[in-house]
Amino acid sequence: MATAALIYFDGDPAALVRWWSGPHVGAHRSQPVALELVEYMKGKIPADVHSELRHILVNGIPKRCNASASNENFEAFYQCGNHPSCALAPEKAYKALVKDAKQGFVTPFDKRAMPFVLNCHVTPQGVVDLDHPHKNPRPIFDSTFHPCPLCFAIIDWSSKDDEPPVMCVSAEIPWMIWLWNLRISYPH
């Protein structure tokens, strides 16, 4: 059905995802409410953090995306195929993929439609936790993989230099201290 819908939208995955809706388009979020909250925080948070939050809510992320790739790049990834973990236990890999598709995390298509998909980039799929006794196998994709040194992977499309620094790392210790002090203040 996903392949039929993709053909209906002339091979445009973005149009298909927008029509399909779900978690991928953020329709559940209210941009005006989020912008109100960011404006309320003005002066209470550093000016650069405020500016970055506003930019993310208005324009999205990443700030800069260099996503041009050649047919040779596409062919190199296509010929390379998936990780060997998919071939080790194909029934487990298929079951994990179907589970993720039912939850809306992935949209599987028939492989024969790939040459007709606009701006298509192929990323190798893999499966982790195949033989783990307490975890179910789960599909992964390797966005850092390069079939040859001159190929572009998804990770090459943007740079950390263009994005704001991660602030939550420095927030963990103060939060833990606040939590510990709260326990002392309210032991019961």
| Element containing residue 188 per DSSP (H, E) | none
Q: Determine the pLDDT at residue 8.
A: 92
Which own/partner pairs from 66-73 qualify as long-range (CB within 8 Å, at least 24 positions apart)?
A: 66/156, 66/157, 66/158, 67/119, 67/157, 68/152, 69/121, 69/152, 73/121, 73/151, 73/152
Angle at 25 between CA 2 and CA 158, to 5 degrees: 100
pLDDT of the residue at 4: 92
| pLDDT of 23 | 60
Q: What is the three-class DSSP state of 99?
A: helix
pLDDT of 27: 64
Would you state the structure tokens that stand for residue 65, as one six-digit string? Answer: 């995306």
Q: 124 preceded by cis ω (within 30°)?
A: no
Q: Where are the domains of the chain?
A: 68-157
- pTM for the structure as a whole: 0.66
- Helix and strand numbers (H, E) in the chain are 8, 2
Low-confidence ranges of the chain (pLDDT < 70): 22-28
pLDDT of residue 116: 85
Give residue 19's pLDDT: 85
